[in-house]
Each structure stands twice: as structure tokens, then as C-alpha cells.
Amino acid sequence: MKINYIMEREEEKELVRAVVKISRYTIYIALIAAACIAILVISLFNNGTGAVVVSSAKENASVSPVATSSAPAASAGGTSRAIPADAWKAPDESTIPAGKAGDMIRYGKELLANTARYLGPQGTVAQITNGMNCQNCHLAGGTKLFANDYAGFMVSYPKVSSRSGKKESPSERIAECFERSLSGKVPDTSKKEIQSILAYMKWLGKGVKKGQKLFGNATEKLPFMDHAADPVKGKAVFVAKCQSCHGSNGEGMPAADKKTYTYPPLWGKHSYNDGAGMYRLTNFAGFVKNNMPFGASYQNPQLTDEEAWNVAAFVNSQPRPHKNQRNDWKDIRNKPLDFPFGPYADAFGEKQHKYGPFKPIKDAQKQLINKKS
């Protein structure tokens, strides 16, 4: 009896030990699983939407911009892309010198960022531009790659303009963006404003050598599609991904001060005119591919190439100020392939030069150049 009793006690103890062991393992496994889930969540966040936080740098944003989590990089950009480590970087702002020279550089930077405040329709210095800022297209003060950065600008000028055939100074080149992109008047280039803008651009590009190849200069040249870009499909892209900020009529969103824009217009009378670089499809498509919706980047594009081409076609088929460009081109053979106003040296019409397909035009232009030489 007694032995039996002891044996039963032993069995009971064994059972209790086993139960304790099992529950200990269960806790271990639960802990490991929790850690795995945490790691997964963190890495998903970093690769996907986490990087597309719309910059809070828009100081006077009166509405919170729409975060664009719906189109992960994988579907938009194909493979994920990286900026090489040796790509150009803007010098650190702390290296702007003190004193008068530094003040000019800082004023130049301020003018590019807030052009309308000084030179817009209600500008405090002059009223010669449409209300947009240079920075609307030359992002982050012209420091962002694939966003028309100014890195190589000053060292490459004076330069012969393929449009006029004349040698142009840097201030003449800037004046063109005033007349076309800001649909305004030629500024007085001897004044402090233009001189300050030039001082800033010079400081910005101080490390760049003449002729140096720059990664991410201007905008990306997207591969040509084998068909024309489609404004109707582009409208659907616009409605889904652009109009929340740029307005249902592309009119932009004025800031609370009614003098500047929180979101700049894409068409209409306050937008760039049809002589501007953005009016050309390759520039527009390349720009929006890596920069729009605002917060997108080369590393994290939000549009497929096709969406970028189509939305470019839609926006640039809407009304905007017109600039007479009849006498712009000294030699029409130099017109870029997406220049939408004839006459042309090749046999393609205005419509194909505006919307593509561009490859046949490119091939024809190559032949013309071969004939020339």
C-alpha cells in the first residue's frame, strides 16, 4: 500500500514537472514568434510606405498632404533603385561664408524657394512672375537629384544655346525660366536679386568641374514607349494621384496669405507657359516619375513609366499661357524631338512631336544629323 502510495506521489511529481516544462517552452516559442513579427513589421515599413512621408518642410501647408501609400515602389519602379555613393551632394549650408558674400547666397536661396513672395503678382520687390516658385520644379533649392538640380549649371555657362544659336550668359539662361516657366517678364539682371540667385548657384556648384558627368542631373530620361502617350489614361492618373493637391482643375492651392501657393498650379493662367521646359513631354514625365506625388524619389518612385508619360500628356493638353515661339529656333534641326511646335526638319507632325511615339522621330533625327556632317 505504502509503496503504491509513494509511487503515485512520484508519478504526480513527474507530471507536474512535465507540465512546467511544456509551459516554459510555450512561453519561449511565443517570445520568439513575437520577435519575428516585430522584425517583419519594421522591415516592411522601411521598404514600403515608410519612406514616402510627405515632407513636413512645406511650412505653410494649410492642409496635410495626402500620403501616398497605395503604390509601393515594387509596382511602380520595377527593381528598387539606388543613388551611387559618389553622386553629387549639395555642400553643407554651414559652409556658406559669413558677411556680405554669404548674405547674398542666402538671399538667392530664399528667392528661389519663395519667388512669389518677392517677385510674384503681389511681390514685395517687383511684380514680374506668375505666383510659382523656382523651387516648385528645382526641388529643395535645386539640390535634389533628378529634380532639375543646379549642380552643373554655373560651370557649364556661358554656353551656346541650341535654340537661339547664340552664346548665353548664366543670367540670360535664368531669364528664360522667368519668361517661360514663371510665365513672366525678363528680370533686370543687374539687380541684387538675379546677382544673389547666381551667387547661390555658384556656391552650390562649387565642387563641380566643367564637363563633369553628373548622376541625376536634370530629369531622368525615361525609356520611350512604342506608342503615343494617352491624355485620356493620363486623366485617370491625375484624378487618382495628383488632384488632391493640385486641384481638380489643376489650379493649385493658394496659401493662406493669398500671395503664394501651397501647391502650385499645373495648368491655367497662373501656370508655366507653352514655351517652358515642363511643356515638353520628356521633361515632365521624367520629373514626375521621380518626384510626384510629392515625397516620391528616384529610390522610391510612385508612378510607372507609362503613368508618368500619360499624366504628362494629360496635363500638357490643358490650357495655359501661350508664348509666341515662331522665331525661337535659328536652326529647326536643333529642335528637341518632343518640341510641340513646327515647322520641323523631319516629316512628323506636331501631334507626334508632342505625344510620341518618339523612337521613329529619334531615328529620323539621327539620319538628319548624319547627313549634316
> Where on the chain is the footprint of ligand HEC (CB under 6 A)?
54, 58, 65-66, 115, 132-139, 148, 152-153, 173-174, 177-178, 181-182, 197, 218, 237, 241-242, 244-246, 263-266, 272, 276-278, 283, 287-288, 292-294, 303, 311, 315
Nearest residue (CB) to ligand HEC, 265 versus 356: 265
Nearest residue (CB) to ligand HEC, 88 versus 294: 294
* CB 325, min distance to ligand HEC, A: 13
* CB 95, min distance to ligand HEC, A: 21
Nearest residue (CB) to ligand HEC, 154 versus 345: 154
* CB 202, min distance to ligand HEC, A: 11
Residue nearest to ligand HEC (CB): 277
* CB 117, min distance to ligand HEC, A: 13
Nearest residue (CB) to ligand HEC, 41 versus 266: 266
* CB 193, min distance to ligand HEC, A: 9
Nearest residue (CB) to ligand HEC, 186 versus 369: 186
Q: Which residues have CB under 8 Å from 246's CB, separation 6+?
A: 252, 253, 263, 264, 265, 266
Nearest residue (CB) to ligand HEC, 272 versus 355: 272
* CB 229, min distance to ligand HEC, A: 13
Nearest residue (CB) to ligand HEC, 224 versus 287: 287
Query: Does residue 158 have a cis bond before it (omega within 30 degrees)?
Result: yes
* CB 65, min distance to ligand HEC, A: 3
